[in-house]
Structure 1
Amino acid sequence: AFVLAPWHDMDPEAQLPGAGPVAELLAGVGRDGVLPRADLELRLPE
């Protein structure tokens, strides 16, 4: 979930090849224990 949650936050339509939509994968594992960090900023590559 620690990878899926921020990925989903940045791109809710994201797909993991061979596994399906990130939203469905995240729904299956949940966000328990995944907390936002105010000291970090996620940005898409330029």
Structure 2
Amino acid sequence: LRVFVQAARLRGESLDHVLLHGPPGLGKTTLSHIIANEMGVNIRITS
């Protein structure tokens, strides 16, 4: 994931589609917010 974030940042683009899947409580939403923060972009969470 680090490589994908770094490559997207260098290109000045957002990440391609990322699907995080799993049971509640594993940190998917938290990870999504961290990635968005690192990329300097807004995030839209749907459920």
- Alignment TM-score > 0.5, same fold: no
Structure with the higher fraction of residues in strand conformation: 1
Q: TM-score, normalised to structure 1's length?
A: 0.29
Structure with the higher fraction of residues in helix conformation: 2
Larger relative CO (CA 8 A, sep 6+): 1 or 2?
Answer: 1
